[in-house]
Amino acid sequence: MGSTGFRLTIYREQDTERRSQHLHLGSSVSTNGSFTEQDISAATRVAAEFMTAARMHNCQRIVAVATESFRLAANGEAVATHISREIGCPVRILSPAEEVALTWRAVVNDFPDRPGVTMVDISGGSLGLGSGPSNNKGPCHNFSFPLGTSVLAPRALDDGYLETSTRTRLEHHIAETLKPAIASIGPVLEEQIVLTGGTVRALAQLIHTTRRGEVPNDINGLGIDCSDLGHLVKKLSELSLPARLALPGMKQRRSLHLPLAVAILRQTMRSLGVHEASVSTMGLRDGLLSRLMTQARAA
């Protein structure tokens, strides 16, 4: 149960089924300080629909977790309890460190040939940084900041536009916020930087579609560099929302927050001192699934 949307993954030996529903709870919590009645109603409805789907597939184990918007909301714990009661399954609010660790492990499993990985995870609610040797169970350096696109959008975007002055202030804020984490992580190699998150994948698809004139078959492993992001910052600042939607590879549900995502990602890469990074399609869901399968084998 994320800050941008709710996602369901049903794993079977033959295949994996995925569903998602965008709710943008992070934006609402950022604006109101807590979940509204409308948020609670929508969240409960989608969670119930996903639970019904899981039961129809006779899933032996069902796990429901919530992320940053539930941590930030004044009534987050109460809403998680309410949803748990309504769907008949406990909803656990992950700690920031656990969320980063699960995502980092999934990304490392996706790039097993690298001796170490520094992961940047940009979600609707948070910006996660995890770094460490690939043979570790978890990252040596684990940081999470409330710098996600949905959480920042109400304070940074004006009808989908990110003004230059606002972007400059945001970049300074991100740089200052990340300083302790960057100092702890230390110098990183470009080949060790891996980016993940739904918005990052949308950016990768947009960049490579623009380059080649066709949507790439597979986003996993594609590169994003600061030059790409710089061009996007300029282009998105000049385009109206309808013109933005006409860009090849642009996804409607991501288009509103994309200028903000570009600014967050570019400044994070600048702070890390890297020009280029690889994209992974792995994320929190994959980390959770991997842990569940490990626990099942151990049992």
pLDDT digits (tens, 9 = 90+) for 51-85: 999 999 988 889 999 999 999 999 999 999 999 99
Q: From CA 81, how far away is CA 7, in angstroms rounded?
A: 19
Which of 79, 94, 109 lies at the terminal end of a domain, its last residue?
94
Domain that holds residue 46: 5-94
**What is the DSSP secondary-structure string of 243-274?**
HHHTSTT--HHHHTTHHHHHHHHHHHHHHHT-
Same domain, 147 and 185: yes
- pLDDT tier at 298 (50, 70, 90 boundaries)? low
Same domain, residue pair 102 and 90 = no
* 106, amino acid identity: A
- Report the domain count for the chain: 2
Q: Are residues 255 and 108 in the same domain?
A: yes
Phi-psi region of 135 (alpha: psi -120 to 50; beta: other; left: phi over 0): alpha
Give me the pLDDT at residue 208, please: 87
pLDDT band at 92; cut points 50, 70, 90 = very high
Residue 115 sits in the same domain as residue 126: yes
The verdict on pTM exceeding 0.85 is yes
> Under a CB-based contact definition with an 8 Å cutoff, are residues 110 and 282 in contact?
yes
Domain ends where: 49, 72, 94?
A: 94
Count of CA atoms in the C-beta half-sphere (13 A) of 16:
9
Sequential DSSP letters for 145-207? ES--HHHHHHHH-BTTB--HHHHHHHHHHHHHHHHHHHHHH----GGGEEEESHHHHHHHHHH
Give, in order, the Cα–Cα distances in Å from 291 to each of 13, 106, 140, 286: 16, 10, 18, 9
| C-alpha 245, offset from chain centre | 21
Question: Six-digit token pair at 245?
Answer: 């939607």
Amino acid at site 1: M
Count of other CB atoms within 10 angstroms of residue 262:
28
Same domain, yes or no: 65 and 105: no
